[in-house]
Structure 1
Amino acid sequence: MIHEKVDGNGVAELVVDNPPVNAYNVADIGTLVGHLRAYAGDDRVRAVVLRGEGRGFCGGGDVKEVQRAPGFEGILGQTRGSLDLSLAVAECPVPVIGAVHGYCIGLGVLVAGVCDILLAAPDTPFVLAEADNGATSGIVQAIGLMPEKRLRAAMFTCEPVDSAELHRFGSVLRLVPAAELPAAALAVAATIAAKRTNVIRGLKAAMAGTLGRDIRTAYRQELSYTFELNISGEARDARGDFVDGRRTGYLGTS
């Protein structure tokens, strides 16, 4: 479930509350995309906070939903949704502040990688688990978090990158205890929202032109290899290992 609230400062708060691990299913993704796209025509909204309720920010895409779907419907829905959500965050006309706690896995890292600003709780692992799930995508989004060589290591090994390391890179603005994280993110958003709306919207558009990545083109290229692995059956087998409990250590279990 996605909760949305717009406060009196012009800050929209989007909260993902999908127990037990905040894995994003296709419906969740569509709801988030709808809200983020709608802000283009909503002058009330001057900044956005995106966070998760419960144990962590995001446990990745809903692999179980992908496995249950017939044929290739699941992987197509999840990959199309991942692209749509990445673009919706990157193209949102106002800054999006991600507040990350607990863990940030797979699709969560992609979303974090395209947020304008990140705050994170100490000791939060960011895990690019694509290789363990038969996927080859997320590179263009994750390059917003770490240098190339570190990204290569993170993707090849699926080993976590700690929030403190991302803070040293400058990708995480501030490390904040988990209990204080929502308020801290809202405070950053309120600082931005207090500025002239048209200036901030113009500045984000200018940054997209100068600093932006061609997410659509690069992500589609990355997905071509994911689709090959799905056609061959290897990706489904890899996801099966995850669903059957052979790869769950990202969430602190064996």
Structure 2
Amino acid sequence: MSVSTARPEPGIAVLTVDFPPVNALPVQGWFELAGAVRAAGSDPGTRCVVLTAAGRGFNAGVDIKELQRTPGNDALIGVSHGCFEAFSAVYECEVPLVAAVHGFCLGGGIGLVGNADAVVASDDATFGLPELDRGALGAATHLARLVPQHLMRTLYYTSRTVTARELHAHGSVWRVVPREDLTAAALELAREIAAKDASLLRLAKAALNGIDPVDVHRSYRYEQGFTFEASLGGAGDRHRDAFVAGHRGRERS
């Protein structure tokens, strides 16, 4: 389980998340991801970062099993801070960050992709927030950066997903390609970005964040408060217990 960094070409850092079997990150995994993104972005030799993942899908959110097997609220508090740090690291990355998404992108994955500068996706990619089915709230801030407001609300209330092609139609996904072409497509975009003046790229990133109409840090932090309220009220554990029990049942069948 790790977040690895490779530099396949000058100016480009590729971060690969690998937490089998589905890239549902534990508390430490979110902090590790945040650290890797910040390190890559702060390296003077980096002009563009590509965030990708190994395995079956890009990201399945938080490790719910870790939350349920940890007594008290320590894991819930830890993963809340970890997600906040990882999402913030992507948003604040000093150079443009391209998310290369395949398979499922759920929960915390939306937080990462919604804060990325550009998204390239494979034709099997799906995006969604199953938070209400998991006893949580959050990342509507980031889903709202991918789809229009009313669609965001409908997806949030229903826990439905949308495809990469649907997001491409909304303009939030740059390209949709066959799965086997995803890495090449992401590197192609990163290469075009990395060809620009290094100092101007960093100034451009800071300028674009500075004119963003939504403060993503404050907005997401506000959402997180309702997840704690759901947990204190019992809904959080009830739905997470049901999810874990259902997962165990599928493993036995």
TM-score by length of 2: 0.94
Find the aligned partners of 1:180 and 1:190 in 2 and give their Cα distance: 15
State the match for 1:99 in structure 2.
Answer: 100
State the match for 2:113 in structure 1.
Answer: 112
Find the aligned partners of 1:248 and 1:197 in 2 and give their Cα distance: 52
State the match for 1:203 in structure 2.
Answer: 204
Residue 136 of structure 1, CA deviation: 1.6
Find the aligned partners of 1:122 and 1:202 in 2 and give their Cα distance: 33
Q: Map of 1:1-254 to 2, 5 A cutoff?
A: 1-211=2-212, 213-245=214-246
Find the aligned partners of 2:110 and 2:18 in 1 and give their Cα distance: 17
Per-residue CA deviations over 1:73-98 (Å, capped at 9, x if unaligned) read 11111111111111100000101100
Aligned residue for 1:227, secondary structure, equals helix
Aligned residue for 2:35, secondary structure, equals helix
Residues paired across the two proteins, number: 250
TM-score by length of 1: 0.94
Q: Measured at CA, do residues 221 and 56 of structure 1 come closer, stay the same or move farther in structure 2, by a change above 3 Å?
A: same
How high is the sequence identity, in percent, across the aligned residues? 40
- Unpaired runs of 5+ residues, structure 2, are none
Find the aligned partners of 1:220 and 1:59 in 2 and give their Cα distance: 20
Task: Tell me the amino acid that sits aligned with residue 186 of structure 1.
Answer: L
Residue 24 of structure 1 contacts residue 61 of structure 1 at CA under 8 Å; is this kept in 2? yes
Residue 19 of structure 1 contacts residue 54 of structure 1 at CA under 8 Å; is this kept in 2? yes
Find the aligned partners of 1:93 and 1:16 in 2 and give their Cα distance: 20
Find the aligned partners of 2:201 and 2:33 in 1 and give their Cα distance: 22
Task: Tell me the amino acid that sits aligned with residue 28 of structure 1.
Answer: G
Find the aligned partners of 1:196 and 1:248 in 2 and give their Cα distance: 54
Residue 8 of structure 1, CA deviation: 3.4
Find the aligned partners of 2:16 and 2:215 in 1 and give their Cα distance: 27
- Unpaired runs of 5+ residues, structure 1, are none
Residue 247 of structure 1, CA deviation: 11
Aligned residue for 1:44, secondary structure, equals coil
Aligned residue for 1:229, secondary structure, equals helix
When the two chains are superposed, the root-mean-square deviation of aligned CA atoms in Å is: 1.8
Find the aligned partners of 1:37 and 1:20 in 2 and give their Cα distance: 25
